Structure 1
Amino acid sequence: MGEQGGARWARIALFVILYGAAHAAYRSLRAGGASHWLVDTATALPAAALIDLLFPADAVRASGPRLTWPGGRLQLLAGCDGFEVMALYVPAVLVAPVGWRRGLAMLGLGLLLIWALNQWRLLALYLAFRHWREGFDALHTLWGPLLMLGAVAGFFAWNLRAGARG
């Protein structure tokens, strides 16, 4: 049986509040110096390691918030860390009508999925920057984010359906 209208609106309102709180917390973290860890350590370092694993001859390294290689570099900024998708996902899970165990699993696995997808997105952006410059902007601003959102929405929907079945 579906949720009552009032409960549905309460979930929507709570989602909006939590989404705003996530952005406020992120801005606070960045202002407090955590941007270095979020972009340099949690994003650029593993992206460089992934690229180096797959394309060792390219000699890609992380240098702060940049992916560098002989003859080029790609600057990673706030937002390149996948936060926007996380900011949508976490409040959605927190207001989802799932039990605490499923919710906790959804949070952990979902955040790991978002991080991993973002690493593959950065790999694709690197390859586009190196070999397909005219496609870089569309991949960066449209296709990469859409594919990430689609995959995460699919994961979320699958979990909701699995939770509804028991």
Structure 2
Amino acid sequence: PVLDGLGATAELLRDPDPPRIVMLTTFDLDEAAARAIRQGASGFLLKDADPEFLLAAIRTVHAGSAVIAASATRELFARFGDASRAVPATYGDLTDREREIFALAARGLSNAEIAAREFLSEATVKTHISRILAKLALRDRVQLVVFAFEHGLA
């Protein structure tokens, strides 16, 4: 759907089964994009992205993963890292292993990279990631990374 500003984005994200949203913006990371990510957008891209990359990003988000423009990653980490807040009690619900996987995912490692590093199967990593997301009430890996930086866990 075509969204009319962040108000519409916020309204859609309150839905228990909201559509996946890819935020397009002219700037590397403006406040609107940061708010959209906090509120559950699954992707953040610059409007000048190559059409092939944009299509791949849409497919990636549709498949349940998340996408962030590479040029904005450092600023995203800096922005959310500066706003460190107390760690929610739900983080304490994670097992030690889930916390290890959380830390690796927060650093941006893929499931395959985590599996190789921790001597696990990719299916096991996916299971851990799913449980982590559920316990922390996060929608996807983008929100996991934001959560980690907001709370000083990365």
Normalised by the length of structure 1, the TM-score is 0.25
Which structure has the bigger radius of gyration? 1
Higher relative contact order (CA 8 A, sep 6+): 2
Normalised by the length of structure 2, the TM-score is 0.26
- The structure with the greater share of residues assigned to helix is 1
